[in-house]
Amino acid sequence: MTDSRSSIPVLTIDGPGGAGKGTISRLIAERLGWHLLDSGCLYRLTALAALRKNVALDDEAMLAQLATGLDVEFRVAGAVTAVLLEGDEVGQEIRTEKVGDCASRVAALPAVRTALLQRQRDFRLSPGLVADGRDMGTVVFTDATLKIFLTASAEERARRRYLQLREAGVDASLSSLLREIQARDARDTQRSVAPLVAADDAIELDTTSLSIPEVVDQLEELLAQKGLVSST
């Protein structure tokens, strides 16, 4: 990374799925006028590409090749970001439980993580970056200006996902969602490369009993302490 790029501020927001990282990251990026990196999206896109091309999820070499040459485009239109894979809009498809589970498996492979590492770092552009993921503060942006680790109980995260799916008209089982989240947590925390863990210098926030506005307020206070936003 060049010296000029390393001077660009980065806010990392790591944590398990369902802790609120995506929503919080988008709101903070909008508030700051910074770029946004949804790193999980890249792993989901890799997983979807593998499913479409019938690549086995344990074929590490082929998956790494897919990740390296991923034909992806992000198009921002107002408050909506379209995600295109080989020209197809796949924003809804990559958010399914099936693709999410496959992405967790793909993300455990060292060669895939290496293939996507520089692609993630290239999102570090002026005036700043909000990076949402699982290893943003521990691996990708170890020199981040501020590191946050969001957590919430597995039960609360399953409940949130259940309500989200119901609102979208999708049938879901709360007990099945809880089992899937617990299995994904175990995979993410126990993998040998870049396991899900808070960075030593990260600030941990438990969102189990907090609303989105309450979390945003806390983050803005922390950002103000770093001089990144004006104190109110």
Give the residue ranges of the annotated binding site. 15-23
Q: Which residues contribute to the annotated binding site for ATP? A: 15-23
104 near 180, Cβ under 8 Å?
Answer: no
Single out the residue of 118, 116, 124 nearest to residue 68, CA to CA.
Answer: 116
* 103 in Cβ contact with 180 (< 8 Å): no
Contact 205, 150 (CB under 8 A): yes
Task: Provide the token pair at 33.
Answer: 């006028």
Torsion of CA 42, 43, 44, 49, to 10 degrees: 90
**How far apart are alpha carbons 18 and 104 in whole angstroms?**
14
DSSP letters of 139-206? IITTT-SEEEEEE--HHHHHHHHHHHHHHTT----HHHHHHHHHHHHHHHHH-SSS-S---TTPEEEE
3-state secondary structure (DSSP) of residue 12: strand
